[in-house]
Chains A and B, each alone.
Chain A
Amino acid sequence: MALPDDILTLLARIEPLASEGARRSLPDTGREARLHVLVEMIGDTVLPRNLVFSAGKDMSCTLTVASGRLMRMSVTTPDGHQVLSAAAGATRDDQLAVLCEALAGLAEVEGALGLERQPLAEDVAAEEVGHGAGEIREMIESVNWFANATEAPRPVHDGAGAAFHASAHPFTLAQTLMSRAGVRIDATGAEDYQLPQAEGEALAATLAALPAEVRALLDPAAAIAIPGAALGDRGLLLALSADDLAVNVSEGDDLQELVRRWLATERTRGTGR
């Protein structure tokens, strides 16, 4: 039995390292490709490191990485120095979104980025969790973080379920966002599948009329997936959070992906059910 291919591929990097030396810059291969490389570098970093990227003498960005997780990110520009992960907000979702946006910003810098790998003298505290390369990759794949991206508009909303709505958007035919009382906040996608105000209110009333025991199951957050047999392979995912309700219409594997993303979001928030 030989070693798995992924290990052999990784080990094969020894030869260019020995003959050409370690990469000391990250070439400008295009923002998507470079973002992918950045996330891969995080995933491949087991021993704690500061990965210091620089552009010119005025801009640098330090990723503190250990065990395949991004622990901290700081940026120095002519305007000052900022530790992003600390300023990112209370929830892990908020922090992840800020980090993804900053990584995309780093990937977008024109020209080659200087790269220095600094081993860390101080042990990373065991209770420090950081963000794993897997969850960063997932978030990056689900949302276009680039500054001048041309993508279909997605509902703008900063309620409790915002991170899920953003992540779910690429997998929906239509998305309708409402308050828990059924007041429509925003809607995108195919108009035929958006929920009109009156039906939104009716849905909210139906949910409110459920027996108390059932309603308790829906608080503070829950998802109800209704595979749409009558509509071919199309289905609904109702996503309820503490202050909003989203009706997502989706089809095929995308519906399964929506459910998976909801569960992942809730796991991240520590309120999964």
Chain B
Amino acid sequence: MSAFPSAEAELRQVNRFLEMFAALDPAPSALFDQALDHAHAYKTRLETPVRIAFTGKSLAGKSSLINLLIGEKVLPTGKASVGPVTVMVRHSLTERTTASWWDRPSVEFPGRALAQAAALGPDIVTLDIQCEPLEGLSLIDIVSFDDAETSKRAVFSLMRLADVMLWCSRADNPMIKADSDSWRMIPGRLIRNSMLILTHAEDVDEAGIAAAKDKLTPDRLRSFRDVIPVSTKVAMLALSDPGPNFEELWSVSGAQQLVESVIAAAVELREAELEKIRRGLAQYVRPAQAALDQLAPAATEPVPAPAAGPLPPTTSPASAKVAAADAHLLDALRQDWFARAQSLLDRARGGDFAHPADFVMAAQEEVDGFRDRLSETEGQLAESDQLIEEFEKANDLLILLQFESADSAALDAARIVIQLSEGVDHLRPAGPVAA
């Protein structure tokens, strides 16, 4: 998609580092481990399209919306859907279908073989189809939030696969209680990147749409970046017979707004991600690359560093004033986290958690709250990006632990709280804590 910011320079830089490192046999030192870990993670991110996930309950119209964006009926819809499996659709010059599991090798079929792949009972089916407008994007039909088991799978799929979430809910009855219960399990980072799509909007009039929005509490409404009513049938009609009224029908159906919002969200996300990667390259990969260049000066041609993006704060800031401000902010963050952790401990000692599951939930709320606090420092501190990622990862795990058996889940939750405390503590310089 032409609107997407180019990541070529960053990818070249990462690939050069990885290739040079791989050429050194044996590996020179464990000192490169951290840079290598980051370089692999950046490569994966840069090569992965922005992933737009459509989620909600069965018959909410998720597959129809994906078909609408692709412009052809690739996914079966309604009661004919392929069953409880997550389906990813993306652009490729070679059409193929892949059944994948989280924990075992994939099975590939030539061409479009959705039913055949789904019959194997995989966790994900990936449909690679020739569809140029999809370049840079993956559209994902997440398994529906229908019961405890599929909800768990849906949450896990969202955590592993989604960058932007489109919550699909019927316009005549949006965000019913079942939706709200599922909503509680979605990680905050996805809620902040979500849109509510009121599907089947053709079944209600304008007053009905207004009434639907009224049913949402202000808090809930604010949590979406957009609320978009879509008349899928009208949009499909426009697509199937693009006559003189096409633009009007397409616009009235809400499809145009949907396309624009999805692209805007994807571009925004990609830009933010690139900024983060540029900061990470400067912090972890470039110093390691300089060391590699010294080890093997003639191995490859140097690659100019990406020009865009401000230089991140470094661990040795130029001015003492900046250093003092950073230290002050780091200390404030540290105190905030330990106040939250101490409150968990006090409540645990006071017998506040009647069940271990209550503790897991409380821990997740504190972690999510602190993640929000950290996001205020994004770009200000060299440590922010890594900490935000760390707390998001912890938040995801704590959500998944709420599906597990209580005792072992609570023990793992406590371990996570301790690990996060150790990580936050590393923000301060070595030495005794000031009184």
Q: A and B from one assembly?
A: yes
**Interfacial chain A residues near B425, Cβ < 8 Å:** 17, 21-22
Query: In the bound complex, how far is the Cα of B410 from the Cα of A17, in angstroms?
Result: 20
Contact of B29 among A18, A47, A76 (CB under 8 A): A76
**Interfacial chain A residues near B419, Cβ < 8 Å:** 44-47, 49, 117
Query: In the bound complex, how far is the Cα of B28 from the Cα of A118, in angstroms?
Result: 19
Closest to B393 in A: A47
Using A2-B351, A8-B349, A11-B418 as known contacts, say yes or no to A126 and B103 having CB atoms under 8 A apart: yes
Query: In the bound complex, how far is the Cα of B428 from the Cα of A19, in angstroms?
Result: 12
Using an 8 Å CB-CB cutoff, how does the interface string of B357-397 with A read, 1 for contact, 0 for none?
00100000000000000000000000000100110011001
Using an 8 Å CB-CB cutoff, how does the interface string of A204-242 with B read, 1 for contact, 0 for none?
000000000000000000000000000000000000000
Using an 8 Å CB-CB cutoff, how does the interface string of A2-24 with B read, 1 for contact, 0 for none?
11101110111111011111101
Using A7-B348, A47-B393 as known contacts, say yes or no to A21 and B428 having CB atoms under 8 A apart: yes
B341 at the interface (CB under 8 A from A): yes
**Interfacial chain A residues near B407, Cβ < 8 Å:** 4
CB <8 Å contact, A121 and B342? no
Using A1-B355, A14-B417 as known contacts, say yes or no to A81 and B28 having CB atoms under 8 A apart: yes
- How many chain A residues touch B (CB < 8 A): the figure is 47
A99 to chain B, nearest CB (A): 16
**Interfacial chain A residues near B89, Cβ < 8 Å:** none
CB <8 Å contact, B103 and A127? yes
**Interfacial chain B residues near A175, Cβ < 8 Å:** none
Closest to B412 in A: A46
Closest to B428 in A: A21
Interface residues of A in 37-76 (CB under 8 A from B): 44-50, 52, 60-62, 74-76
Query: In the bound complex, how far is the Cα of B356 from the Cα of A88, in angstroms?
Result: 40
Contact of B414 among A11, A17, A49, A60 (CB under 8 A): A11
Interface residues of A in 240-266 (CB under 8 A from B): none
Contact of B102 among A13, A48, A126 (CB under 8 A): A126
**Interfacial chain A residues near B28, Cβ < 8 Å:** 81
**Interfacial chain A residues near B328, Cβ < 8 Å:** none
Using A2-B351, A8-B348, A47-B394 as known contacts, say yes or no to A122 and B418 having CB atoms under 8 A apart: no
Closest to B43 in A: A122
**Interfacial chain B residues near A10, Cβ < 8 Å:** 411, 414-415, 418
A159 at the interface (CB under 8 A from B): no
Query: In the bound complex, how far is the Cα of B33 from the Cα of A61, in angstroms?
Result: 11
Query: In the bound complex, how far is the Cα of B31 from the Cα of A104, in angstroms?
Result: 22
B333 to chain A, nearest CB (A): 13
User: Which secondary structure characterizes the binding site on chain A?
Assistant: mixed
CB <8 Å contact, B29 and A81? yes
CB <8 Å contact, A22 and B415? no
CB <8 Å contact, B26 and A18? no
**Interfacial chain B residues near A22, Cβ < 8 Å:** 421-422, 425-426
CB <8 Å contact, B37 and A47? no
Query: In the bound complex, how far is the Cα of B113 from the Cα of A186, in angstroms?
Result: 59
B153 to chain A, nearest CB (A): 14
Query: In the bound complex, how far is the Cα of B345 from the Cα of A10, in angstroms?
Result: 10
Interface residues of B in 404-435 (CB under 8 A from A): 407, 410-412, 414-423, 425-426, 428, 430-433
CB <8 Å contact, A82 and B26? yes
- How many chain B residues touch A (CB < 8 A): the figure is 59
Interface residues of A in 69-96 (CB under 8 A from B): 74-76, 80-83
A134 at the interface (CB under 8 A from B): no
Interface residues of B in 303-334 (CB under 8 A from A): none
CB <8 Å contact, A18 and B341? yes
Query: In the bound complex, how far is the Cα of B32 from the Cα of A74, in angstroms?
Result: 12
Using A20-B432, A24-B430, A122-B40 as known contacts, say yes or no to A3 and B410 having CB atoms under 8 A apart: yes
Contact of A13 among B26, B40, B412, B418 (CB under 8 A): B418
CB <8 Å contact, A7 and B359? yes
B104 at the interface (CB under 8 A from A): yes
B216 at the interface (CB under 8 A from A): no
**Interfacial chain A residues near B393, Cβ < 8 Å:** 47-48
**Interfacial chain B residues near A50, Cβ < 8 Å:** 33-34, 37
A119 at the interface (CB under 8 A from B): yes
- From A20, A121, A122, name the one whose CB has the most chain B CB atoms within 10 angstroms: A121
A156 at the interface (CB under 8 A from B): no
Using A11-B344, A122-B37 as known contacts, say yes or no to A4 and B356 having CB atoms under 8 A apart: yes
Closest to B40 in A: A122
B353 at the interface (CB under 8 A from A): yes
Closest to A80 in B: B26
A120 at the interface (CB under 8 A from B): yes
CB <8 Å contact, B411 and A122? no
CB <8 Å contact, A121 and B41? yes
CB <8 Å contact, A15 and B342? yes
Query: In the bound complex, how far is the Cα of B423 from the Cα of A48, in angstroms?
Result: 12
Using A20-B433, A47-B419 as known contacts, say yes or no to A3 and B356 having CB atoms under 8 A apart: yes
Interface residues of B in 95-150 (CB under 8 A from A): 102-105
**Interfacial chain A residues near B428, Cβ < 8 Å:** 21
Using A7-B359, A19-B433, A122-B41 as known contacts, say yes or no to A81 and B26 having CB atoms under 8 A apart: yes
Query: In the bound complex, how far is the Cα of B341 from the Cα of A267, in angstroms?
Result: 40
Contact of A46 among B41, B351, B415, B426 (CB under 8 A): B415
Closest to A52 in B: B30
Closest to B28 in A: A81
CB <8 Å contact, A44 and B34? no
Contact of B390 among A7, A61, A119 (CB under 8 A): A119
Contact of B341 among A14, A45, A120 (CB under 8 A): A14
CB <8 Å contact, B104 and A127? yes
B27 at the interface (CB under 8 A from A): yes
9 sampled A-B residue pairs with Cβ under 8 A: A1-B355, A2-B353, A10-B418, A22-B421, A22-B425, A45-B415, A47-B416, A117-B423, A126-B103
B interface, CB within 8 angstroms of A: 26-31, 33-34, 37-38, 40-42, 44, 102-105, 280, 338, 341-342, 344-345, 348-349, 351, 353-356, 359, 386, 389-390, 393-394, 397, 407, 410-412, 414-423, 425-426, 428, 430-433
A interface, CB within 8 angstroms of B: 1-4, 6-8, 10-15, 17-22, 24, 44-50, 52, 60-62, 74-76, 80-83, 117-123, 126-127
Known: A2-B351, A20-B432, A127-B104. 13 other contacts (CB 8 A): A10-B418, A14-B418, A15-B342, A21-B425, A21-B430, A46-B416, A52-B30, A81-B28, A81-B30, A82-B26, A83-B27, A117-B423, A122-B38
The 5 closest A-B pairs by CB, nearest first: A121-B41, A122-B41, A22-B425, A22-B422, A18-B338
